Each structure stands twice: as C-alpha cells, then as structure tokens.
Amino acid sequence: DIVMTQSPLSLPVTPGEPASISCRSSQSLLHNNGYNYLNWYLQKPGQSPQLLIYLGFTRASGVPDRFSGSGSGTDFTLKISRVEAEDVGVYFCMQALQSFTFGPGTKVEIK
C-alpha cells in the first residue's frame, strides 16, 4: 500500500498571510501519462471533505485561485496565498495511483 504522510499536522495561521502544507507518498505518484495522481481535500468543521485540487495541480470547480497545488513524484505542496477565515478545517491529501489512500490530515486554525 502507498502510505501518505503530511506535515505539519497542525497549522495556526494569520488571516491574510500565506500557508503551506506538505504531503509525501511512500511511492511515486507519477503515472506514465505524465500526471501525478495526487488530490487535495478540505474538510470544514461539521462537513464532509470537498475536493480542492486534483491530479496534483488542477483546481476543482469553484475553488478560489488562492489555492494552488504543486509537486511531482513523492513530494507535493498545497499553498494558500492569503488565508481567509473560511479556510479553517482539516486538509487531506489522497493518492489514486494504486487503490486510494489518504494522508492523516493537517488541521488549519486561525491564530
């Protein structure tokens, strides 16, 4: 199984400031079609996970452009250019190259 790890697991943020979350996989997620099978989700308090980024860097429909995904192979990053209060919650990465596994989540909260 592909194991996903994230850091940090807790991230206090200041509104208006940038934030960054790292996700690493135990095996490369780069498919021979050139895409990385890595997705990012946000689970807001009391809600189900919502898709933010798929295939490493593509924003899902309706996701603000302050969110961006980057990376390749085994190392990936989710960046929020300017955090807003509505961005609090738990961020998960998920791999879809071999079955489906998730990272442990990074809890983002306002300082």
Partner 1 sequence: EVQLVESGGGLVQPGRSLTLSCAASGFTFNDYAMHWVRQAPGKDLEWVSGISWNSGNIGYADSVKGRFTISRDNAGNSLFLQMNSLKTEDTAFYYCARGDAGSYLGDNWFDPWGQGTLVTVSS
Binding segment for partner 1 (CB under 8 A), chosen from 14-22, 33-41, 64-72, 74-82, is 33-41
Verify binding: residue 92, partner 1, rule CB under 8 A.
Answer: yes
Question: ∠ CA(55), CA(63), CA(32), 5° rounding?
Answer: 5
DSSP string, the chain: ---EEEE-SEEEE-TTS-EEEEEEESS--B-TTS-B-EEEEEE-TTS--EEEEETTTEEPTT--TTEEEEEETTEEEEEESS--GGG-EEEEEEE-SSS-EE---EEEEE-
Verify binding: residue 54, partner 1, rule CB under 8 A.
Answer: yes
> Which of 7, 28, 30, 51 is in the footprint of partner 1 by CB under 8 A?
51
Verify binding: residue 2, partner 1, rule CB under 8 A.
Answer: no
Please give the Cα distance from 55 to 7 (Å, whole number).
20
Verify binding: residue 39, partner 1, rule CB under 8 A.
Answer: yes
Our CB check for partner 1 shows the closer of 52 and 80 to be: 52
Verify binding: residue 69, partner 1, rule CB under 8 A.
Answer: no
> Which of 24, 70, 77, 104 is in the footprint of partner 1 by CB under 8 A?
104
With CB under 8 A as the rule, give the number of residues binding partner 1.
21
How near is the Cβ of 47 to partner 1 at its closest, in Å? Answer: 8
